[in-house]
Structure formats: structure tokens, C-alpha cells
Amino acid sequence: MATSNNVWTKTLFTYMWVFNVGRGLSVCVRLPNNIGILYDLGSSEDFSPADFVAKEMTPTFAKYSDRSLSQLFMSHPHADHIAEVGKVTPKGELDAALVTCPNEKCAEEAVDRSRLERDDNRDLLAAYRKTYESRNPPLQTLQRDKTTCWVPNVEYGLYYMRPPLVSKEHEASDQHYGNGLSLVVYLRHGHQSVLIPGDLTPEVMRRLLPAQQGIEKRYTYLSGEPAGTPNDFYSRTSSQPSLKTVLGDRGLTILLPPHHGLESCYSEDLFNAIKGGKPMLNVISEKRHTGENDGSIHPRYQREDGAIGSTVDNEGKQEFSYSVSTRNSQHILIVLEGTKPRPRVYLRANPYALLNIP
């Protein structure tokens, strides 16, 4: 049973929760028309975003194709991004209308299972494949005419490189191959925008930004789509704007740095593509470092040359920052009001405290 008043369901804002899951990623987005989208299924020993979303959020989401969760993105099949995939079951609490993930159901976009599967993840990957065994390609964004479309200036896009091309780009490293499969989601609400690139490698990012050959694009305008927009914009690559175009024309408000902000996936090309050379704020779902080989956060994300900076609310205290992180056991809420130049950002150790912020 929900324990909050869910005041966010009555606003025309976009809400994005970045959950503290330790060594992983899980992001929930509620659009102004009350559509719910979940990006990745990371979890920790002491917190389950899948359970939290199912109990506190999906009961109040608007339905899409008779499902309370409109879309589930699983960026790529690494354990820290699909840890709770076993909870995605038909007619269950996390039964999404669209399950969007790299898979092998279409030959030209087939994932090479042999480069991902090991003895210690075989069962997890079997559960991952089960989520889409009864579904058909292509990967897609939401169909506008199936949603409540009375909120203006909301749009989002999906970008990715076809897995066989990722395999050629990363022939020597299976780890980089898996990361390079990441699905990239861009969301804009009025003057504010968000980019979630999963664990995308800089090599794939370089080709994805200008939409080179082999880059797939999907795009949905939830209202007010431009004249001449093809009917299949949501399901087939055509004249959708490239990621480089939307970032260059509009800038970027919130960046979730690729691969938890680690130096290994820092992309200079990404920063060069953003209007002004940097986002307003970096929001890092940071790994809890347990070993010397876990890597370090790239310092640019936390400096003036890596973000414009913004005021954030940290447990009720106002602070100016270039980045915020889940590292100190904090969950993060970003509120995009559309017409405002800056987002509202809240950090709380208790995730329930983020459900009653108007």
C-alpha cells in the first residue's frame, strides 16, 4: 500500500528519480501526462527500486496499452543494470507495455550472446531473455496517439548502435562490447532536458552523436509534433533529429554521465556536442568502490568546466553544485518544470521523502 500522498501526480511537471542502488543504475521518470517510464533495474541489498516503483508509483500512473508502466528500458544486459529483471513478469506489478532492450530477435540487430554469457550470469541472462520472448521487434518509443497528449513541449528519443556494429567496434573486449550496446534516451520538457546514456563507450558515442550509418533513432513528440513527421517516427529510423542536433540546438540540463561517471567512458565528443560545452548539472549514479580496479569518477563532472552548476536541496539545505551523486546513500529527485530555466533537485537518504515534493 502506498505510504505517500503522491502529490506529483497532480502537477504538469516531469519527475525523475535516480535511485541509490550502489553498484548499478535505476531511474524512474513520470511525464506530465502521468506516463511512467523505468530505465534499468539495478538494486542493492537494502533497497529495491522495482518494489518501490511497483508499490508507490505504478498504481497512480496513467495506463498505456492497458499497462500501468508504459515503458521499461534495459540499457544493456550487464548485471548491475538488470539485477531485478526477474520481477518483470506478465501481468505482474512491473509488466510494462513496452520492454525495450538489446536482443537477438532481429538478425540485423542481434546481440552476440556468446560475448555476454558466463557461468555466473547465465540464469540472469535467461531471465532477461524471457522478458521479451513473446514480444516482437522493432525497438520503439511510445506512440503519441496512445497517450494522453494534452501537455505541450514534451518529447523524447531513443538512440543506439546496432549490436553487430558494436561488436566490430569492440572486437578485443567483451566488457566494452556489452557497455557499447547501451540504449541512450534523451528527454525534453520545454526548456529543460535530460540525457541517460547507460554505460555507452566513448567509441560508440562518437559515432552515435551524428547518427552515422548503423545508428538507430526513434522519436516521439507527445504533443504538437512538427508538420510532416512520419507516422512511424517511433519505430523506424528516418528523419529523426540526431543526438548531436538536439544537444547542439538546445543545450542540456541534466546529464547522467555514462558508466556511472567513471573515467573509462568519459566522452569528450559528448561535451563538444552540447551547446555551451557542458550541461547544467551532472547527476551520477555512482558505484560503491570495493576494489582498487573499480575506477574513479572523471574529475570534469565535478568541476566548473564540466557543468554550469545549480542549487540543489540536500536534506533541506540549499547548496550550489556542479554534480550530485548517490554515493552517500542518497536518492535523487529532479523536477523539470518546463518553463523554468533551472530544474529543482532534491537529495534524500529516505526515498519516501521524495514522494511528497510538489
Percent of the chain with pLDDT over 70: 96
Better-predicted residue by pLDDT, 328 or 266: 266
308 falls within a domain: yes
Question: Per-residue pLDDT tens for 178-191?
Answer: 999 999 999 999 99
263 falls within a domain: yes
Question: Per-residue pLDDT tens for 282-321?
Answer: 999 986 555 555 679 999 999 999 999 999 999 999 999 9
**Confidence band for 108, pLDDT divided at 50, 70 and 90:** very high
Q: Is the pLDDT of residue 81 over 70?
A: yes
CA distance 136 to 284: 33
Burial of 53 (0-12, 13-18, 19+ CB in 10 A): buried
Question: Per-residue pLDDT tens for 228-272?
Answer: 999 999 999 999 999 999 999 999 999 999 999 999 999 999 999
Supply the pTM of this predicted model: 0.96
2 falls within a domain: no
> What CATH number should be reported for the domain holding residue 226?
3.60.15.10
* Whole-number pLDDT of residue 198: 98
Chain length of the chain: 358
Q: Is the pLDDT of residue 225 over 90?
A: no
231 falls within a domain: yes
1 falls within a domain: no
Give me the number of domains the chain comprises. Answer: 1
* Whole-number pLDDT of residue 178: 98
Name the grid cell of 317: 539545505
240 falls within a domain: yes
* Whole-number pLDDT of residue 326: 94
Which of the residue ranges 84-88, 101-105, 317-321, 337-341 would you say has the lowest mean pLDDT? 337-341
Percent of the chain with pLDDT over 90: 82
**Confidence band for 1, pLDDT divided at 50, 70 and 90:** very low
247 falls within a domain: yes
How many C-alpha atoms does 347 have within 13 Å on its Cβ side? 22
Range of the domain at 235: 7-355
Burial of 313 (0-12, 13-18, 19+ CB in 10 A): middle
